[in-house]
Structure 1
Amino acid sequence: MKFKLLIIFLSATTLIQAQSVRKYSNEFLNIGVDAAAFGMGNSVVATSNDVNASYWNPAGLINIEDNEVALMHASYFANIANYDYIGGAMPLDDRSAVGFSVIRFGVDNIMNTTQLIEQNGQINYDNITYFSAADYAFTLSYARNLRFVEGFSYGVNAKVIRRIIGEFATSWGFGFDVGMQYQTKRSGWTFGAMARDITTTYNTWTINEDEYSKVQNAVEGQNQELPETTEITLPKLQLGLAKTFTIHYDFDIKTEVDMHMRFAQTNDIISTSSISATPSLGFEVGYIDLVYLRGGVGNFQNVEQFDNSTQIGFQPGFGVGFQYKGIHLDYAFTDIGDQSAALYSNVFSLKIDWSLFR
């Protein structure tokens, strides 16, 4: 069973077709960052305006007033997988800003039992080794506003992707994202758009044939051919419309509705042969810029049941936040699937405004 699990894991991660387009490459980059965003159901493309905008919409970096640093940690699948994020951003002048971020999604201490049984048929537990399967993303962001269009800003991400499966296989990938935001000062409406992988993102794998041959021989007759070595990530588009209300000076209510689109046929509730889409919505209630309550829902999918019928699944999110003198601590309770298909996770994130130390 351990042999088969290892083979299934490697095959699911690296088995690709050289001349076809995979719709789900680099899926770890679709999870998101920041517990505040998770609490709002990832409906933040129009309102993201801090260091975490490097991920959600780099155009929002233009709103930061001082250097900012953000950290996040989450565990998924009953603490089997760890998801970590660090980001930083700083204004260059009153019209531009830059940011960076690093994301790691990994499963550590996986047992490699391909050499457990020696050639003489004896079991030798000393031959068990451990490896990690980890995905990394390094992103550099730039944002700028337009002098002649008040409230309009745009941003660009350049990202490098590194994926490692122990000593079996590694890959490098490169891609670009483009985002924009438009804020109307009088009405309070904000519009945002984020296009990910606009040039398609390419991942090129390098297979260690010596190590992979051990997997091939672990179970005779299974997975005997090396996988192909090219992945292509199709572009995605997220559109958002948001509005902020102020009630009696003490309460601010932020609401946003987003539409998440892929240029491929998926299980989204809106799905065609060329494009699929699913909505999300979220809200945030803030009290005197000190305490925040959040809620959201998104990722509506047509989920096939065991009796071949379909049922609409969705991903809810809830969260709270606290802010004091440049320190922002946020918590979210959510998952990366839908309300029934995955275990829920506790997500914590911390954001520090560097003006705290000035």
Structure 2
Amino acid sequence: MKRLVLILTLALTCSVFSQTAKYSNEFLNIGVDAASFGMANAVTATTNDVNSGYWNPAGLVNLKDSQVSAMHANYFANIATYNYIAGAMPIDSKSAVGFSIIRFGVDDILNTTQLIDDQGNIDFNRISLFSTADYAFTLSYARNLPLEGFSYGVNAKVIRRVIGDFAQAWGFGFDAGIQFQRKSWFFGVMARDITTTYNTWTFDDAELATIQGAIDGQNQTTPEATEITLPKLQLGIAKTTSIHRDFDLTTSLNMDFRFAETNDIISSGSMSATPAFGFEVDYIKLVYLRGGVGNFQNLESLGGEGTNIGFQPNFGVGFRYKGIQIDYALTDIGDQSLALYSNVFSLKLDWSVFR
């Protein structure tokens, strides 16, 4: 246990102080699973199913059987689509493995770079379509520690980003997490991109050169070939209470840290943090009601006159029967004032359904 904590600490420290603050792969901060969205993503300590590969891979050890999960959501007035599919299975009584794929993209974008021909005439037949998409492929492994109640998990992820024929990138990174359960209390730690995730871009110079009116260094500049994603740390605590013979209540708190200056409600030159609160009420593990609030941000008022605090409210419901679980969440990608709300649905199946 001490060795694992030491490795996580050294990886975070080296990554933070050896790189400049940059941002990439923000699509991986959206999340997965409507049940988690309904609780404002405050599930670092309690996640215990196939979706743990994203939220905290240590939770995969709680699987009793193989599971598959899928989610679909539309953002920005249905302009962008977000899709997720995952599978996980226990290896033995002490370990488990999982795999997931995420795609966040905008399809059928009009490419008008060749709209005007060599004679200066507008030719709509010269318009083509292209897509821009981000992919994440994640392999997860989890195992119980010799200490009772402790488990750990690690992710190895490959990032693929594509912007039509103009540019493409590959990236690689690692996550690690720990969970501890003591009676009705749950604790979790999730370290994302612990070694700093790197994206390396390649550009099609011939395709970029076809953009009419573009002059390199004046109105067009080729982006940097390398992006980095700095580590993030998520701490979670939760408690489950029986409020009636047939009803249970789970309340959870997350504190999400970034090692960079952002608009988070708590921010300094080298670190920022924002809390998230969530709850879930279930009736005999059959019907679920969820709610939460998170993503607290300092937002500049219109006209630049002071700032106010923005936040992201969430609401969700779920239904589970004989290994089939369907969840719904009403949420958004930003906060209550800046983005349109989205209806998110997800499906989770125990493999026993197919037997």
Alignment TM-score, normalising by the size of structure 2: 0.93
Larger CA deviation: 304-313 vs 332-341: 304-313
- Tell me what 2:283 maps to: 287
Unmatched segments (≥5 aa) in structure 1: 1-18
Q: Secondary structure at the match of 1:307?
A: helix
Could you tell me whether the CA contact under 8 Å between 2:134 and 2:161 is conserved in 1?
Answer: yes
Q: Secondary structure at the match of 2:221?
A: coil
Unmatched segments (≥5 aa) in structure 2: 1-17
Distance in 2 separating the partners of 1:228 and 1:64: 42
Aligned-residue offset at 1:218: 4.7
Q: What does the per-residue CA deviation read over 1:108-164, in whole Å, with 9 as the maximum and x for residues that have no partner?
A: 0000000000111100101000000000000000000012x1110000000000000
Q: Which residue among 219, 239, 246 is the counterpart of 1:223?
A: 219
Q: Secondary structure at the match of 1:36?
A: helix
Q: Secondary structure at the match of 1:337?
A: coil
- Tell me what 2:247 maps to: 251
The percentage of aligned residue pairs carrying the same residue is 70
Larger CA deviation: 231-240 vs 307-316: 307-316
- Tell me what 1:344 maps to: 341
Could you tell me whether the CA contact under 8 Å between 2:256 and 2:275 is conserved in 1?
Answer: yes
Q: Which amino acid aligns with 1:65?
A: K
Could you tell me whether the CA contact under 8 Å between 1:216 and 1:222 is conserved in 2?
Answer: no
- Tell me what 1:327 maps to: 324
- Tell me what 2:266 maps to: 270
Could you tell me whether the CA contact under 8 Å between 1:216 and 1:223 is conserved in 2?
Answer: no
Could you tell me whether the CA contact under 8 Å between 2:114 and 2:212 is conserved in 1?
Answer: no
Aligned-residue offset at 1:237: 0.4
Q: CA RMSD in A?
A: 1.4
Distance in 2 separating the partners of 1:224 and 1:345: 34
Equivalences for 1:180-191 in 2 at 5 Å? 180-185=178-183, 188-191=184-187
Distance in 1 separating the partners of 2:321 and 2:200: 45
Q: Which residue among 285, 292, 295 is the counterpart of 1:296?
A: 292
Structure 1 residues 54 and 216: alpha-carbon distance in aligned structure 2, compared to 1, 3 A threshold: farther
Q: Which residue among 201, 207, 214 is the counterpart of 2:203?
A: 207
| 1:30 partnered with 2:26 | no
Q: Which residue among 147, 151, 154 is the counterpart of 1:153?
A: 151
| 1:241 partnered with 2:240 | no
Distance in 2 separating the partners of 1:57 and 1:276: 21
Equivalences for 1:13-162 in 2 at 5 Å? 21-147=20-146, 149-162=147-160
Q: Secondary structure at the match of 2:353?
A: helix
Distance in 1 separating the partners of 2:77 and 2:353: 36
Aligned-residue offset at 1:226: 2.0
Distance in 1 separating the partners of 2:38 and 2:235: 18
Distance in 2 separating the partners of 1:283 and 1:133: 36
Structure 1 residues 256 and 287: alpha-carbon distance in aligned structure 2, compared to 1, 3 A threshold: same
Could you tell me whether the CA contact under 8 Å between 1:21 and 1:231 is conserved in 2?
Answer: no
Aligned-residue offset at 1:216: 6.3
Could you tell me whether the CA contact under 8 Å between 1:201 and 1:232 is conserved in 2?
Answer: yes
Distance in 2 separating the partners of 1:218 and 1:114: 10
Q: What does the per-residue CA deviation read over 1:64-112, in whole Å, with 9 as the maximum and x for residues that have no partner?
A: 1000000000000000000000000000000000000000000000000
- Tell me what 1:168 maps to: 166
- Tell me what 2:307 maps to: 310
Q: Which amino acid aligns with 2:187?
A: F
How many residues are aligned here? 337
Could you tell me whether the CA contact under 8 Å between 1:159 and 1:174 is conserved in 2?
Answer: yes
Q: What does the per-residue CA deviation read over 1:181-214, in whole Å, with 9 as the maximum and x for residues that have no partner?
A: 00002xx111000000000000000000111122
Q: Secondary structure at the match of 1:75?
A: strand
Could you tell me whether the CA contact under 8 Å between 2:22 and 2:227 is conserved in 1?
Answer: no
- Tell me what 1:7 maps to: none
Q: Secondary structure at the match of 1:54?
A: helix
Alignment TM-score, normalising by the size of structure 1: 0.92
Q: Which amino acid aligns with 1:239?
A: L
